[in-house]
Structure 1
Amino acid sequence: MSTPSSGERIALSMRGLRKAYPGVVALDSVSLDVFAGKVHGIVGENGAGKSTLMKTIAGAVTPDEGAVLVDGKTMPTGVHAAGAVGVAMIYQELTIIPELTACDNVFLGDPPRKGVVLAHRRARARFREMSELLGLDIAPGIRAGSLSTSAQQLLEIMRALARDRRIVVMDEPTASLGPADIERLHGIIRDLRDRGVTVLYVSHDLDAVLDVCDTVSVMRAGQLVTTAPASEWTHGALVTAMVGAISPPDPRTPREQEHTIVLDIRGMRGPGIDLPELTVRAGEIVGLAGLVGSGRSRLLGALVGSRDLDAGSMEIDNAPVAWPRSPRAAARIGIVLAPEDRKAQGLVLDRASSWNVAIGAFARAAGAVRVTGRRIARWAQPFTTRAALPEHRLSVAVGTLSGGNQQKVLLARQISRAPRCLLLDEPTRGIDIGAKAQVFAMLRSLADDGLGVIWASSELEEVARYSDRVVVLAGGRAVAELPGGCDVHDILTHSFSRSDRKAAA
């Protein structure tokens, strides 16, 4: 809890909030003060308790213990009670009704009335006032479903203002917005703050949090870890606080690369691929970067035999091997791939995490005895522990896990095969910042143990930051090789230059 300084007023307080569900404590004695007219950020991994906390504030979840106070008074439970004391919740999943007009959506459930008659003219006038206040140009009669996602989200904010809410809770407001829309939203939030509105801002986008928030609180495993002014936080410090002891490796640390060549590819040619050579050393993380259609996924798929090739030779640890014709054959020679679409291509969603780790290795998992869930879990645990998957998730159906934990299950399966070269396609897509940090820490640890790693991502900043070497692809060809920590501008320059030459030809 915080002590207000002179002139500050506590608008919202949480006191000892606890909420437990079967097998998990979502909130564990959370106490926090939020000051009036401030933007207060809440960050944490998936499963940290952020959403449960926000829903408790909004009255949608009743805590087992503790209370929420608004202006020093205990808030009754229930969504309507929260609204009555000035709390509005803007969920990540929009609640806009597409077939209604923009104006009808803003005043949904609480339209202006003249006696018992709906005051449509008054509603439209009020809609235009709020549009002007927010700097928007949305016609009140337009069908809401025809608006962009960002415009629909702004309607949600207008709905909160129309009800004169003094506390606005935003859950992942930038998740579906582009950079320009994010900047516009932040301008609106700053304007709300200047007019005395208190905003709780929940996001995985740490740069956005640091940009717009006055104060930031970090949650981990249902607990409030720490709270500090945004000016005292850095991106790296937030990540460390969110994930605890596990933090991303320092991308600037020089790495010794004079190691054995784990994978050596020569003359690789096939549909959409023309790669004269590619080498990966033990202890090296090689990133594949490029524009959409550059051939990153095609290359990775060809290396594990899931795509046809016209030519190509391969050596593993300086020994020639036959080019694999299937992922199973690739695994036998020490190459495994964590595919881009983990749900459709990598996991059986209705089976337990431990079962998913052991796919293709049940005989090894159970030994010479009968296969049982307990034996499989015992065998899988060392690999899931290395992948930072919480132990209590082993028996849970993998389809119920967060994207980050699903990715950890997939990685645990691949390292259980003792590969020499680990391939990953978009390993951080759809996972939160904490899980990303754990994935990158795991990849560095595996590389330090002597693995070769090749990974592809559309997040060019991540590729540049967390790779020892970056291979830029365009049209299925390697057009440049850059050192780790290179500038994203350099990657784009090579990518577009290659594309321009191809177009000119």
Structure 2
Amino acid sequence: MSAESTPAIVVDGVVKTYGGVRALKGVDLTIPAGTVEALVGANGAGKSTLIGVLTGRVAATEGTVTIGGVQPKPGEPTASRAAGLVAIYQELTIVPGLSAEDNVFLGMTPSSAGVVRGREIHRRYLELCSRLGVRIDGRQMARRLSVADQQILEIMRALVAEAKIILLDEPTAALSDTERVALVRLVKELRSQGVTMIFVSHNLEEVLDVADHVTVLRDGRVVQQGPVAEWDRTRIVDEMLGEAGGLVKAELAGDVDENGVDTSVTVHERRDDQPLIATGISLPGLLYDIAIDVRPGEIVGLGGLVGSGRTTLLRCLAGLEPKSTGTLRIGGSEVRWPKTPRAALDAGVALIPEDRKNQGLVLGMTAAENIAIARYSKVATAGVMSTAQLKARTAELVTEFGFDPARLGAKAGTLSGGNQQKLLLARWRFLAPKILLADEPTRGVDVGAKEEILKALRRFAADGIGVIIASSELEEVSAVADRIIVLRDGRAVDELIRGTDPVHVDAILAAAFGEGHHDKEATGA
């Protein structure tokens, strides 16, 4: 077989078993060289495990992986890299204290007799920028670059390592719309230069735009494959969800639950007993005199553009910004403004953070331990944690959120993004706070898991908990929120109230851009 006709990757009968759980059940996949292959699948479909097998982080129980005609030793990432495969994950590996060009050549620095050749680095860096059609100051410290630019540095580093195949895992999850367009353009440019790309994404519109070929995983198997011309968003969702598709799609429309009960979102009763009233919320240079309240059973959304202050506001309420100031009343009583997360939790305020891996979970602990960590006393007797009680109690909790109790013993770091988010939901169900703050709760999860998470937030509200949600997916905020506070440049500029129909995304954007004022119902009328 000629080098030109050798497939970039061949996966043959790959099985991966964790204890009694089969995460992959005989996966076959062939990716031609110089193409963009999209891997899609619902939460728990096996994408993360397959990525691990391809990159050498996970050793397959059965089957083989061939990269560029070579079979790397299973379970050895360096062997996969040597064969030409480099993976770029959501959690970037950029060193903030190094310059852009030093990050690109990290570990591969040109030198003579131990002396770094700075001019050579700069010249080659500029050549890479020219090749990719980007302009990033090579002398700039990486910590001052946007996430999009840092991601480009990772791609440049892969090219320095002579990668023939680049795997992008949820590459646009943290990017603005403009940055997403730029990254998609870059993927297409690399394909035109003969680089094979594996594109793993929950953004189906991007998949259809950038991919040559689509492979759908479900329940650890490849259920459908084909050229992108044969696909549209509806078909992808149908294949991802399988027989559950009809039910889940009905739930996406807010029509019925599993028992056929109407679950359409309605405006919650606006009671007088307000569990949270916060006024004068300020953080030097970032937030300016914001007021927000949330009632029992109500979901309040935060709308605004990137950088408007949504995440910062939630961090202040959660005690993560000690320099913030404000006044806070919870359950009718004034409480001290939280300066630490523990103070916020003691007051009844819990946060699902934007960065679940670094700020929400302890990845080396089991799923069950991550749920109970907020209050171990609930599963301890005389100060000693009961393993049996831990498993029994957490199994009850995770079932509500569609998490398989059989995986409670798995390390949190091995789980998919959707399952990790479900652990945080279960943790706060376990703790039962008065207020739940959810920052980008559906980022990096598939369409099925998104709906499960949004429905879970509705259940929290139905149980009398006040919920505040911030998301760059304004359609989701619109779908679940009773009221939306719109932020711009660190200030609250508008309040949109749901009527018989959800608040239009156009109304949120108009307020965010300063186009008009809405102090009445902003509905589809």
Instruction: Indicate the percent of aligned positions where both proteins have the same amino acid.
Output: 30
Answering whether residue 272 of structure 2 is matched by residue 264 of structure 1, we say: yes
Which residue identity does 2:210 align to in structure 1? Answer: V
Matched, 1:64 2:78: no
* 1:289 partnered with 2:302: yes
Equivalent of residue 403 in structure 2, options 389, 393, 401: 389
1:467 aligns with 2:497: no
- For residues 219-256 of structure 1, what are the alpha-carbon distances to aligned partners after superposition, in whole Å with 9 as ceiling and x for unaligned? 34543343344455555665565566384733465966
1:32-56 Cα offsets, whole Å, 9 max, x none, are 1213332111234676543443343
| Aligned counterpart in structure 2 of residue 454 of structure 1, from 456, 467, 473 | 467
Map of 1:75 onto structure 2 = 71
Cα drift, residue 385 of structure 1: 0.6
Report what 1:215 is aligned to: 213
Q: Which runs of 5+ in 1 are unaligned?
A: 1-6, 315-321
1:250 corresponding residue in structure 2: 252
Q: Which sits farther off after the overlay, 165-174 or 235-244?
A: 235-244
Aligned residue identity for 1:482: R
Measure the CA separation in 1 of the matches of 2:134 and 2:268: 60
- Tell me, in whole angstroms, the C-alpha distance in 2 between the residues paired with 1:362 and 1:119: 54
Q: Does 1:377 align with 2:379?
A: no
Change (3 A) 1:238 1:310: same
- Change in Cα spacing, 1:32 to 1:456, as seen in structure 2 (3 Å) is same
What is the CA deviation profile of residues 469-498 of structure 1, one whole-angstrom value per residue up to 9, with x for unaligned ones? Answer: 333356679733134543323124335659
Amino acid at match of 1:30: V
SS at match of 2:252: coil
Amino acid at match of 2:71: M
Q: In the alignment, what sits opposite 1:493?
A: 510
Residues 296 and 473 in structure 1, CA contact (< 8 A), matched pair in contact too: no
Q: Could you tell me which of 444, 451, 474 is aligned with 1:437?
A: 451
1:54 aligns with 2:51: yes
In structure 2, C-alpha distance between the alignment counterparts of 1:460 and 1:84, rounded to whole Å: 38
Q: CA deviation at 1:66?
A: 1.6
Q: Sort the Cα spacing of 1:153 and 1:423 in 2 relative to 1 into closer, same or farther, 3 A.
A: closer
- 1:38 paired with 2:35, answer yes
Matched residue type, 2:196: T
Aligned to 2:189: 191
TM-score (norm 1): 0.68
1:279-337 superposed Cα distances (whole Å, 9 cap, x missing partner):
667xxx634224455797499889xxxx996889x7xxxxxxx659799xx99xxx976
Equivalent residues of 1:255, 1:468 under 8 A apart: no
C-alpha distance 160-344 of structure 1, shift in aligned 2 (>3 A): closer
Does the 8 Å CA contact 2:105/2:121 hold for their aligned counterparts?
no
Residue 31 (structure 1) shift: 0.7
Name which of 351, 374, 381 aligns with 1:339. 351
| Preserved contact between residue 37 and residue 198 of structure 2 (Cα < 8 Å) | yes
Q: Which moved more, 1:31-40 or 1:479-488?
A: 479-488
Tell me the distance in 2 between the aligned counterparts of 1:155 and 1:499: 40
Do 2:173 and 2:444's aligned partners in 1 also have CA atoms closer than 8 Å?
Answer: no
Aligned-pair Cα RMSD in Å = 5.5
**Match of 1:272, SS?**
strand
For normalisation by structure 2, the TM-score amounts to 0.66
Pair 1:212–1:471, CA change in 2 (3 A): same
Deviation per CA, 1:43-99: give whole Å up to 9, x if none: 34676543443343345554332222356x4524366665565x2313225556765
Distance (whole Å) between structure 1 residues aligned to residue 418 and residue 24 of structure 2: 20
Residues 93-108 of structure 1: matches in 2 within 5 Å?
A: 93-94=91-92, 99=98, 102=101, 105-106=104-105
Inter-partner Cα distance in structure 2 for 1:382 and 1:500 = 46
Q: Which amino acid aligns with 1:75?
A: Q
Query: Which of residues 107, 132, 135 in structure 2 aligns to 1:134?
Result: 132
Q: 1:175 to 1:423 in 2, by over 3 A?
A: closer
Alignment counterpart, residue 87 of structure 2, candidates 87, 90, 101: 90
For residues 236 and 325 of structure 1, the distance between their equivalents in structure 2, rounded to whole angstroms, comes to 49
Kindly tell me: are residues 238 and 465 of structure 1, through their superposed partners in 2, closer, same or farther at Cα, counting changes over 3 Å? Answer: farther
Q: Which has the larger radius of gyration?
A: 1
1:417/1:261 CA distance change after superposition, 3 Å: farther
Deviation at 1:28, TM superposition (A): 3.0
Distance 1:217 1:336, change over 3 A: farther
1:159–1:487 CA distance, 2 compared to 1 (3 A):
same
1:179 is aligned to 177
| Contact 1:472–1:494 (CA under 8 A) maintained in structure 2 | no
Partner of 2:322: none
> Is contact 2:105–2:157 with CA below 8 Å preserved after alignment?
yes
Supply the distance in 2 between the matched residues of 1:271 and 1:387 (Cα, whole angstroms): 33
Query: Structure 1 residue 461: deviation in Å?
Result: 1.3
Aligned partner of residue 432 in structure 1, secondary structure: coil
Are 1:206 and 1:235, in contact at CA under 8 Å, matched by a contact in 2?
A: yes
Q: Report how many aligned residue pairs link the two structures.
A: 468
Once the two structures are TM-superposed, the CA of residue 345 in structure 1 deviates from its matched residue by: 9.8
1:120-131 equivalence runs, <5 A: 128-131=126-129
Q: What is the deviation of 1:499? A: 11
Match of residue 27, structure 1, among 11, 24, 29: 24
